[in-house]
Amino acid sequence: MSTPETAPAPLRLGTRGSALATTQSGLVARRLEELLGRPVELVRIRTEGDVKTGSLASLGGTGVFVTALREALLDGRCDVAVHSLKDLPTAQPADLTIVTPEREDPRDALCGRDGLTLDTLPRGARVGTGSPRRAAQVQAARPDVELVDIRGNVETRLARALGPDADLDAVVLALAGLSRLGRTEVVTQALDPAVVAPAPGQGALAVEARTADLAPGSPLAEAFAALDHRPTRLAVLAERAVLARLEAGCAAPVGAHSRVEAGELQLTAVVARVDGTEQLTHSASAVLAPHDAVAQDDAATALGVRVAEALLADGAARLAPLVGGTGEPRTGEDDDVAPRSDVEPLHTPTGTDDPEGA
């Protein structure tokens, strides 16, 4: 008599416990189940950012929503972890590997009472965000509104503008998070990246595993290869290279937006003064070598460094708390700044600028 085959053990997927985090992780879990043919269970991990209150800068910023998940991976409490990519420090540990599924819309969204948009907000309107980047750029576009620092999860923030006890006229959130939660009906305006540049990596997820578990040909390695979306990978490589070269943390108003179009990678980055009174923008592009993944990755990283170097040469370090430059004025044409391979980052910057899962 034949005996039934033993069901495969579930893959344990580590996630923060917020509604947004578990929704995002659930999307990845279902895709991994399809790719691996085995069940995936969510393992909720509490991070420092979930436990403590206060601004991200006061919590230390870098890794505040990531460290506990990575520790759970490394000590075997989970097999895979899902992060919002913008939460990750730009320096990737060698013993952990990430892939990037296809990105959601990276733009920020204004959620205003009575259908208000950035242009129609009344003078003196109160706009809530916990992100220095969002605050600086909204203030630059509308110097006459008041920016209010807020924390909390998506529903807590929306209630500040749209709830029965609302004390704000609008809040600014990531469009991707609202989309994943099925709450896009609250969006009164998707903000043009030319007006409010998103955080580097915004809208993208990072799926992470122990490098040792991704041996070539292994089921998990093949699933990770299928999860990775190359246009997303290239865009976020460029954006995060800007962040790494600027050595900007969560307190620095830095935005970046990259996309692949017609065989080129296009990138625009912004550094703003915290009060929104001044900002610098630089754009550049790079041709992508067809059918050469390594060359494409290198081109994306070099593009990000080149744009960051241009911003630093134009004086970005004078505007924002950056470590990576002196702010000496740049001369010459827009794209005449070569990547600085001799410069090593002093810190591990993060794109975290107020995760709505907090």
Residues with a known catalytic role: 87
* HEC secondary structure over 252-301: CCEEEEEEEECCEEEEEEEEECCCCCCEEEEEEEEECCCCCHHHHHHHHH
Instruction: Give me the amino acid identity at 232.
Output: T
* HEC secondary structure over the chain: CCCCCCCCCCEEEEECCCHHHHHHHHHHHHHHHHHHCCCEEEEECCCHHHHCCCCHHHHCCCCCCCHHHHHHHHCCCCCEEEEEHHHCECCCCCCEEEECCCCCCCCEEEEEHHHCCCCCCCCCCEEECCCHHHHHHHHHHCCCCEEECCCCCHHHHHHHHHCCCCCCCEEEEEHHHHHHCCCHHHCCEECCCCCCCCCCCCCCEEEEEEHHHCCCCCHHHHHHHHHCCHHHHHHHHHHHHHHHHHCECCCCCEEEEEEEECCEEEEEEEEECCCCCCEEEEEEEEECCCCCHHHHHHHHHHHHHHHHHHHHHCCHHHHCCECCCCCCCCCCCCCCCCCCCCCCCCCCCECCCCCCCC
